[in-house]
Amino acid sequence: MALVHRATLSPSKQELVAAWLPTRGWAGGIEITTKVAEYRFDDPADEVGIETILFAADDGATVQVPLTYRADPLDGADDFLVGTTEHSVLGTRWVYDGCSDPVWATALATAILTGGTQVQMYLEEDGQRIDIPPRMTVQGSGEPGTVVPGLATVDSVRDDGMTTVVRAGDLELVVARVVGATLAADETLVGQVGDRGAVLAGLRHTS
What whole-number distance in Å separates Cα of residue 37 and Cα of residue 54? Answer: 5
Whether the Cβ atoms of residue 113 and residue 119 lie closer than 8 Å to each other:
no
Total domains present in the chain: 1
pLDDT at 163: 97
Average pLDDT, the chain: 93
pTM of the model: 0.94
pLDDT at 2: 64
Any bridge partners for residue 69, and if so which? Answer: 49, 95
Confidence tier at 119 by pLDDT (50, 70, 90): very high
pLDDT at 57: 96
pLDDT at 79: 94
Residue 118: is its pLDDT beyond 80? yes
pLDDT at 35: 96
Any bridge partners for residue 176, and if so which? Answer: 163
Average pLDDT over residues 65-88: 96
Please name the amino acid found at residue 152: A
Average pLDDT over residues 68-94: 94
Average pLDDT over residues 108-133: 87
Dihedral-angle region of residue 80 (phi above 0 means left; psi in -120 to 50 means alpha; beta otherwise): alpha
126-172 confidence digits (pLDDT tens): 777 888 888 999 999 999 999 998 899 999 999 999 999 999 999 99
Confidence tier at 85 by pLDDT (50, 70, 90): very high
| Domain that includes residue 26, residue range | 2-205
